Amino acid sequence: MRKRLSSAVLAVLLSVVALPVADAAGPDQADRRLKTCARAGLLFCEDFQHVPTGAGTSLKWGVDTRNGSLEVERDRRGQKVLHVRAEGNGRAFLKVDDFAAPGNSFYGRVRVRVEAFPDAPDWAHYTLIEATGDGPEVVRPLGGQYVPTLDKALWGVGADGGPTGDWTNWRESAPSKADVWQCVEWRMDASDNRITLWFDGVPNPDLTVSTREHGGNQVDFLFPKFDTVKLGWQLYQPNEGSYDLWLDDIALGSERIGC
Protein backbone atom coordinates (compact mmCIF):
# COMPACT_ATOMS: atom_id res chain seq x y z
CA MET A 1 0.00 0.00 0.00
CA ARG A 2 2.75 2.40 0.98
CA LYS A 3 4.66 1.53 -2.20
CA ARG A 4 1.64 2.08 -4.49
CA LEU A 5 0.99 5.44 -2.85
CA SER A 6 4.59 6.52 -3.48
CA SER A 7 4.29 5.60 -7.15
CA ALA A 8 1.11 7.60 -7.45
CA VAL A 9 2.71 10.61 -5.77
CA LEU A 10 5.74 10.27 -8.04
CA ALA A 11 3.51 10.15 -11.14
CA VAL A 12 1.76 13.35 -10.05
CA LEU A 13 5.10 15.04 -9.39
CA LEU A 14 6.44 13.98 -12.78
CA SER A 15 3.40 15.36 -14.55
CA VAL A 16 3.84 18.68 -12.73
CA VAL A 17 7.54 18.78 -13.60
CA ALA A 18 6.66 18.08 -17.24
CA LEU A 19 4.10 20.89 -17.43
CA PRO A 20 6.37 23.84 -18.21
CA VAL A 21 7.61 22.26 -21.44
CA ALA A 22 4.11 21.38 -22.65
CA ASP A 23 3.06 23.32 -25.71
CA ALA A 24 -0.42 24.56 -26.53
CA ALA A 25 -0.01 22.93 -29.95
CA GLY A 26 0.04 19.50 -28.25
CA PRO A 27 2.55 17.11 -26.77
CA ASP A 28 3.90 15.95 -30.14
CA GLN A 29 5.02 19.42 -31.12
CA ALA A 30 6.42 20.11 -27.66
CA ASP A 31 8.42 16.90 -27.93
CA ARG A 32 9.79 17.93 -31.34
CA ARG A 33 10.77 21.34 -29.99
CA LEU A 34 12.77 19.74 -27.20
CA LYS A 35 14.62 17.60 -29.73
CA THR A 36 15.41 20.37 -32.21
CA CYS A 37 19.12 20.25 -31.57
CA ALA A 38 19.31 16.48 -31.07
CA ARG A 39 19.09 15.82 -34.82
CA ALA A 40 22.20 14.49 -36.51
CA GLY A 41 23.91 16.44 -39.23
CA LEU A 42 22.82 19.98 -38.44
CA LEU A 43 25.26 22.71 -39.42
CA PHE A 44 24.09 24.94 -36.54
CA CYS A 45 21.40 24.76 -33.91
CA GLU A 46 20.27 26.86 -30.94
CA ASP A 47 17.08 26.28 -28.96
CA PHE A 48 18.21 28.47 -26.01
CA GLN A 49 17.19 25.77 -23.50
CA HIS A 50 20.75 25.64 -22.11
CA VAL A 51 21.56 29.34 -22.37
CA PRO A 52 21.24 31.18 -19.02
CA THR A 53 18.42 33.72 -18.89
CA GLY A 54 19.62 37.31 -19.07
CA ALA A 55 21.93 38.97 -21.57
CA GLY A 56 21.93 36.80 -24.69
CA THR A 57 25.46 35.54 -25.19
CA SER A 58 26.97 32.16 -25.95
CA LEU A 59 30.29 30.68 -27.02
CA LYS A 60 28.36 29.12 -29.94
CA TRP A 61 27.43 32.40 -31.61
CA GLY A 62 28.25 36.10 -31.79
CA VAL A 63 26.23 39.25 -31.27
CA ASP A 64 25.84 42.25 -33.58
CA THR A 65 23.92 45.14 -32.02
CA ARG A 66 23.57 48.89 -32.39
CA ASN A 67 20.81 50.57 -30.35
CA GLY A 68 19.54 47.07 -29.74
CA SER A 69 19.79 44.16 -27.32
CA LEU A 70 19.44 40.38 -27.08
CA GLU A 71 18.08 38.69 -23.97
CA VAL A 72 17.25 35.07 -23.23
CA GLU A 73 13.85 34.82 -21.54
CA ARG A 74 11.34 32.17 -20.60
CA ASP A 75 8.10 32.50 -22.51
CA ARG A 76 4.79 31.66 -20.86
CA ARG A 77 5.08 27.99 -21.78
CA GLY A 78 8.45 27.58 -20.12
CA GLN A 79 10.41 27.53 -23.37
CA LYS A 80 13.54 29.65 -23.39
CA VAL A 81 13.55 32.07 -26.30
CA LEU A 82 15.68 34.97 -27.52
CA HIS A 83 14.12 38.40 -27.06
CA VAL A 84 15.41 40.79 -29.73
CA ARG A 85 14.84 44.49 -29.17
CA ALA A 86 15.91 47.47 -31.26
CA GLU A 87 15.20 51.18 -31.00
CA GLY A 88 14.46 53.30 -34.08
CA ASN A 89 16.67 52.15 -36.91
CA GLY A 90 18.91 50.10 -34.63
CA ARG A 91 19.80 46.46 -35.05
CA ALA A 92 20.22 43.35 -32.92
CA PHE A 93 21.35 40.04 -34.40
CA LEU A 94 22.49 36.64 -33.27
CA LYS A 95 25.41 35.92 -35.56
CA VAL A 96 26.41 32.45 -36.72
CA ASP A 97 30.10 32.90 -37.50
CA ASP A 98 32.47 30.52 -39.29
CA PHE A 99 29.53 28.99 -41.09
CA ALA A 100 30.15 26.67 -44.02
CA ALA A 101 27.59 24.68 -45.99
CA PRO A 102 28.47 21.78 -48.30
CA GLY A 103 28.15 23.05 -51.88
CA ASN A 104 27.20 26.49 -50.45
CA SER A 105 23.57 25.29 -50.20
CA PHE A 106 21.56 24.94 -47.00
CA TYR A 107 18.17 25.04 -45.32
CA GLY A 108 17.23 27.17 -42.34
CA ARG A 109 14.42 27.08 -39.83
CA VAL A 110 13.42 29.51 -37.07
CA ARG A 111 10.35 30.15 -34.96
CA VAL A 112 9.63 33.85 -34.71
CA ARG A 113 7.07 36.23 -33.24
CA VAL A 114 7.30 39.94 -34.08
CA GLU A 115 5.22 42.15 -31.80
CA ALA A 116 4.53 44.74 -34.52
CA PHE A 117 5.95 45.74 -37.89
CA PRO A 118 6.71 49.35 -38.84
CA ASP A 119 4.02 51.43 -40.54
CA ALA A 120 6.30 54.48 -40.95
CA PRO A 121 8.01 55.90 -42.81
CA ASP A 122 6.59 54.84 -46.18
CA TRP A 123 8.59 51.89 -47.57
CA ALA A 124 10.21 51.22 -44.16
CA HIS A 125 12.50 48.25 -44.80
CA TYR A 126 13.38 45.56 -42.24
CA THR A 127 15.57 42.46 -42.23
CA LEU A 128 15.22 39.40 -39.99
CA ILE A 129 17.72 37.03 -41.65
CA GLU A 130 20.87 37.95 -43.53
CA ALA A 131 23.57 35.72 -45.05
CA THR A 132 26.96 36.99 -46.19
CA GLY A 133 30.38 35.70 -47.15
CA ASP A 134 32.99 35.89 -49.87
CA GLY A 135 31.19 37.84 -52.61
CA PRO A 136 29.46 41.21 -52.81
CA GLU A 137 25.77 40.31 -52.43
CA VAL A 138 24.36 40.72 -48.91
CA VAL A 139 21.53 38.18 -49.10
CA ARG A 140 18.33 38.61 -47.07
CA PRO A 141 16.13 35.51 -47.25
CA LEU A 142 13.68 37.04 -44.76
CA GLY A 143 12.92 40.75 -44.72
CA GLY A 144 10.12 43.01 -45.74
CA GLN A 145 8.76 46.46 -46.33
CA TYR A 146 5.87 48.64 -45.25
CA VAL A 147 4.08 49.25 -48.55
CA PRO A 148 2.09 52.49 -48.17
CA THR A 149 0.02 52.00 -51.32
CA LEU A 150 -1.43 48.84 -49.73
CA ASP A 151 -1.03 49.99 -46.10
CA LYS A 152 0.56 46.62 -45.33
CA ALA A 153 3.87 45.18 -44.18
CA LEU A 154 4.87 42.42 -46.61
CA TRP A 155 7.59 39.77 -46.56
CA GLY A 156 10.13 39.79 -49.35
CA VAL A 157 13.46 38.19 -50.17
CA GLY A 158 16.08 40.83 -50.83
CA ALA A 159 19.72 41.75 -51.30
CA ASP A 160 22.03 44.71 -51.20
CA GLY A 161 25.67 45.56 -51.88
CA GLY A 162 26.14 43.57 -55.08
CA PRO A 163 25.56 44.02 -58.82
CA THR A 164 21.79 43.47 -58.44
CA GLY A 165 21.55 46.57 -56.22
CA ASP A 166 19.31 47.20 -53.21
CA TRP A 167 16.00 45.33 -53.61
CA THR A 168 13.24 43.65 -51.63
CA ASN A 169 11.02 41.40 -53.70
CA TRP A 170 7.89 41.83 -51.50
CA ARG A 171 4.72 40.00 -52.39
CA GLU A 172 1.08 40.69 -51.54
CA SER A 173 0.66 36.96 -50.93
CA ALA A 174 3.11 37.18 -48.02
CA PRO A 175 1.87 39.59 -45.33
CA SER A 176 4.22 39.99 -42.36
CA LYS A 177 1.94 38.75 -39.59
CA ALA A 178 2.40 40.51 -36.25
CA ASP A 179 2.14 39.00 -32.78
CA VAL A 180 1.87 35.32 -33.78
CA TRP A 181 4.49 32.58 -33.58
CA GLN A 182 5.38 31.40 -37.06
CA CYS A 183 7.76 28.68 -38.16
CA VAL A 184 9.78 30.08 -41.05
CA GLU A 185 11.88 27.80 -43.26
CA TRP A 186 14.07 28.85 -46.12
CA ARG A 187 16.33 27.16 -48.65
CA MET A 188 19.49 28.53 -50.25
CA ASP A 189 20.12 26.50 -53.41
CA ALA A 190 23.47 27.46 -54.93
CA SER A 191 22.81 25.53 -58.18
CA ASP A 192 20.56 28.40 -59.38
CA ASN A 193 21.14 30.97 -56.61
CA ARG A 194 17.57 30.16 -55.64
CA ILE A 195 15.89 31.11 -52.35
CA THR A 196 12.57 29.54 -51.38
CA LEU A 197 10.43 30.01 -48.28
CA TRP A 198 7.84 28.17 -46.22
CA PHE A 199 5.62 29.56 -43.46
CA ASP A 200 4.31 27.01 -40.96
CA GLY A 201 5.26 24.28 -43.41
CA VAL A 202 3.40 25.81 -46.38
CA PRO A 203 5.55 26.91 -49.34
CA ASN A 204 5.13 30.37 -50.82
CA PRO A 205 6.59 30.06 -54.36
CA ASP A 206 5.59 33.68 -55.04
CA LEU A 207 8.57 34.74 -52.90
CA THR A 208 11.14 32.60 -54.73
CA VAL A 209 14.07 34.38 -56.33
CA SER A 210 16.85 32.92 -58.48
CA THR A 211 19.77 33.85 -60.73
CA ARG A 212 17.65 35.54 -63.40
CA GLU A 213 14.41 36.17 -61.51
CA HIS A 214 14.76 38.60 -58.65
CA GLY A 215 13.82 42.17 -57.76
CA GLY A 216 17.05 43.95 -58.67
CA ASN A 217 19.04 45.15 -61.65
CA GLN A 218 18.83 42.87 -64.68
CA VAL A 219 22.09 41.08 -64.07
CA ASP A 220 22.68 37.67 -62.53
CA PHE A 221 22.06 37.33 -58.81
CA LEU A 222 24.95 35.27 -57.41
CA PHE A 223 25.37 33.96 -53.87
CA PRO A 224 28.56 34.82 -52.01
CA LYS A 225 30.37 31.85 -50.49
CA PHE A 226 28.41 31.94 -47.24
CA ASP A 227 30.34 32.17 -43.97
CA THR A 228 27.94 34.18 -41.76
CA VAL A 229 24.20 33.95 -41.04
CA LYS A 230 22.53 36.57 -38.84
CA LEU A 231 19.06 36.34 -37.30
CA GLY A 232 17.34 39.18 -35.47
CA TRP A 233 16.13 42.60 -36.56
CA GLN A 234 17.30 45.68 -38.41
CA LEU A 235 15.22 48.61 -39.64
CA TYR A 236 16.99 50.88 -42.11
CA GLN A 237 14.87 54.03 -41.91
CA PRO A 238 14.86 56.01 -38.68
CA ASN A 239 11.52 56.29 -36.92
CA GLU A 240 10.35 56.85 -33.37
CA GLY A 241 9.38 53.25 -32.72
CA SER A 242 11.02 50.35 -30.93
CA TYR A 243 10.75 46.77 -32.12
CA ASP A 244 10.44 43.57 -30.12
CA LEU A 245 10.59 40.06 -31.48
CA TRP A 246 11.24 36.61 -30.11
CA LEU A 247 13.21 33.81 -31.80
CA ASP A 248 13.47 30.12 -30.95
CA ASP A 249 14.60 26.81 -32.44
CA ILE A 250 17.12 28.19 -34.92
CA ALA A 251 18.56 25.41 -37.09
CA LEU A 252 20.67 25.32 -40.25
CA GLY A 253 21.26 22.09 -42.13
CA SER A 254 21.90 20.40 -45.46
CA GLU A 255 18.46 18.75 -45.42
CA ARG A 256 15.09 20.38 -44.85
CA ILE A 257 14.51 20.59 -41.10
CA GLY A 258 10.73 21.02 -40.99
CA CYS A 259 8.57 22.53 -38.29
- Residue 145 in contact with residue 126, Cβ under 8 Å? yes
Among 30, 44, 46, 47, binds Ca ion (CB under 5 A): 47
Q: Which is nearer to Ca ion, 45 or 142 (CB)?
A: 45
Please state the closest distance from residue 155 (CB atom) to Ca ion, in A. Answer: 23
The reply on whether position 146 binds Ca ion by CB under 5 A is: no
Among 44, 48, 61, 226, binds Ca ion (CB under 5 A): 48
Please state the closest distance from residue 52 (CB atom) to Ca ion, in A. Answer: 13
**What value, to the nearest 5°, has the Cα angle with vertex 249 and ends 154 and 238?**
40
Q: Which is nearer to Ca ion, 33 or 140 (CB)?
A: 33
Residues 6+ apart with CB under 8 A from 11: none
Backbone angles phi, psi at 21, to 5 degrees: -95, -5
Strands (DSSP E) contained in the chain are 42-46, 54-55, 62-74, 80-96, 106-114, 125-134, 138-147, 152-160, 167-175, 182-189, 194-199, 202-203, 225-235, 242-253
| Nearest CA-CA partner of 80 in 41, 42, 137, 36 | 36
Q: Which is nearer to Ca ion, 28 or 151 (CB)?
A: 28
Q: Which is nearer to Ca ion, 47 or 185 (CB)?
A: 47
Per-residue interface string for the shown chain with Ca ion, residues 77-96, x marking contact by CB under 5 A: --xx----------------
Among 137, 221, 248, 250, binds Ca ion (CB under 5 A): 248
Please state the closest distance from residue 180 (CB atom) to Ca ion, in A. Answer: 17
Where do contacts with Ca ion occur on this chain (CB under 5 A)?
47-48, 79-80, 248
